[in-house]
Chain A
Amino acid sequence: MKGVMSNPVSVGVPSPQSGSTTQRNVKSSIRDLNFFYGDAQALKHIDMEIYEHAVTALIGPSGCGKSTLLRCFNRMHDLTPHTRYEGEIRLFPDDVNIVSPEVDPIEVRMRISMVFQKPNPFPKSIYENVAYGLRVRGVRNKTELDGRVEAALRGAALWEEVKDRLGEPGTALSGGQQQRLCIARALATDPEIVLFDEPTSALDPIATASIEDLIISMAGSVTVLIVTHNMQQAARVSTYTAFMYLGELIEYGPTNEMFTRPREQRTSDYLTGRFG
């Protein structure tokens, strides 16, 4: 499980649905990743492959490092003083180490976008919330902007609800709609990976279901990495699940296997609510 792939080749991994083996490409490869907040080591020797066009869930108790790991993917920690990355997160197909100091975090964020726990639309119109990232990237053409805003809003299953009021402030939407607006904003720039950090913890069950449905459908075209405290959510949306504890990756495999027959005692204890 913790073996490091030397090449970004496609590997055979069991598909949770069929039980048969599906060929999946490795989108990103984490290699001996360590992360420090000052002297405190938050991630310890993480080795794992993230598969392309799949949903990978990171689970574990508070403080296990799952959010820290997720944030490494778009260099969020660069904003916090006295933090340090060691090791690599290689992004394919170009095999670039996204945590290397030589790589511009802005470049990383162009390719890997993030959706947060609480919906955080910009204090702008619905349209501008989605168009913002495109404008920053230099898209000026009105027709192109319109097309891409619509595509992103459709991708986030929000278009039908907002197409007649694109000029209204994003903050006027309901919580679930705001979160989908944030997903549309994340999708607008055609990212390769979308990161979700507890995306439904502030939402009611109906809005949660629509976000989960969206995450599952997104996986056909982007790679999704999701951190969640809700194990049932991880079970519902993900193809692969990684269980982390005290900064270490304890177990990683097809979700179906993890939830029915985990290999590690610590995973089993956590999943069955026997932790502590």
Chain B
Amino acid sequence: MRGQTEALEHQHIVRAFDEELARLTSAIVEMGGLAERQVADALRALSGRDVDLAAQVIQTDKKVDELEERIDQDVIKLLALRQPMAIDLRMIAMALKISNDLERMSDYAVSIAKRSQRLAEQPEPKPLQQIPRIGQSCLAMVKDVLDAYVERDADKASTVWNRDKEVDDQYTSLFRELVTYMLEDPRTISTCIDLLFIAKNLERIADHATNIAEKIVFIIHGAEINRPRHEVE
């Protein structure tokens, strides 16, 4: 079995390289922390009908974008100046992709926050109770995948990867439920459409967490998770 800790127990001869890699990792962790909080706050803003909290989520997006840009520049600099190999190369190349996934997560959180502001102006819809369930599943995946990244734990990442189907199933059942509401009472259509988009955004956030899980496994083992993944229709 390829070592889980390949090359990581030793430091680079050029110590500046270690510092640059640590800086890159901490930028990803910082970005992940922000995105995770955005998702959590967007969910709280939605259920608590808290428009100010939703506004904060929207504000944070700018910070996340800035971090993504910094990571892009750091990666290009590392590739040009250090010519990384083996696990270093995988780590640096995947930082580029993971930051992209985190940036997308942040965008979805913003989208949820915006819809929560609109929903707060209307009477509380009955199907709203279903959202927190899928929301918590998503949030747990985001949290665990970030832990797996920090701890370089491929097993933990694989567990997150396997949980994507759970969220997909929750989304499908919520979709059916919302369609039923809309058929029963067409006056709820506008609200239900908002909820439907929120559910879809959550489902996409879980997909990005799953993508990150795949990249963590690639960093550690140098191989893809090679199984067909359940895709939601």
Contact = CB atoms under 8 A, between A and B. Distances in A.
Interface of A: 231-232, 235, 259-263, 265, 267-269, 271-276
B165 interface: no
B12 A261 contact: no
21 contacts: A235-B85, A259-B85, A260-B89, A260-B90, A261-B86, A261-B222, A261-B223, A262-B6, A262-B86, A263-B2, A265-B3, A267-B86, A268-B7, A269-B10, A272-B12, A273-B13, A274-B10, A274-B11, A274-B13, A275-B10, A275-B13
B222 A272 contact: no
B87 interface: yes
B13 A271 contact: no
Nearest to A259: B85
Contacts of B11: 274
Nearest to B223: A261
B14 interface: yes
Interface string B1-45: 011001100111110010000000000000000000000000000
Contact of B7 (A232, A259, A265, A276): A265
B74 interface: no
A272 B5 CA distance: 13
Given A259-B86, A261-B221, A269-B7, 5 more contacts: A262-B6, A263-B2, A265-B7, A272-B84, A273-B13
A271 B17 contact: no
B180 interface: no
Task: Give the residue among B3, B86, B221 with the most A Cβ atoms within 10 A.
Answer: B86
A239 to B, nearest CB: 17
B69 to A, nearest CB: 27
Contact of A271 (B2, B3, B85, B221): B85
B207 interface: no
Task: Give the residue among B7, B11, B13, B221 with the most A Cβ atoms within 10 A.
Answer: B7
B85 A272 contact: yes
A148 to B, nearest CB: 40
Contacts of A275: 10, 13
A31 to B, nearest CB: 28
B11 to A, nearest CB: 6
Contacts of B6: 262, 265, 268
B84 A261 contact: no
Interface in B79-116: 83-90
Contacts of B87: 268, 272
Contact of A261 (B10, B17, B83, B90): B90
A272 B62 CA distance: 35
A231 B13 contact: no
Nearest to B91: A272
Interface in B39-62: none
Contact of B222 (A235, A260, A265, A274): A260
Closest 5 CB pairs of A and B: A261-B222, A274-B10, A271-B85, A268-B7, A272-B88
B7 A274 contact: yes
A275 to B, nearest CB: 7
Contacts of A268: 6-7, 86-87
Task: Give the residue among A260, A267, A272 with the most B Cβ atoms within 10 A.
Answer: A272
Nearest to B221: A261
Nearest to B83: A232
A262 B86 CA distance: 7
A261 B86 CA distance: 5
Interface in B130-152: none
A274 B221 CA distance: 18
A276 B13 contact: yes
A259 B85 CA distance: 6
Contacts of A261: 2, 86, 90, 221-223
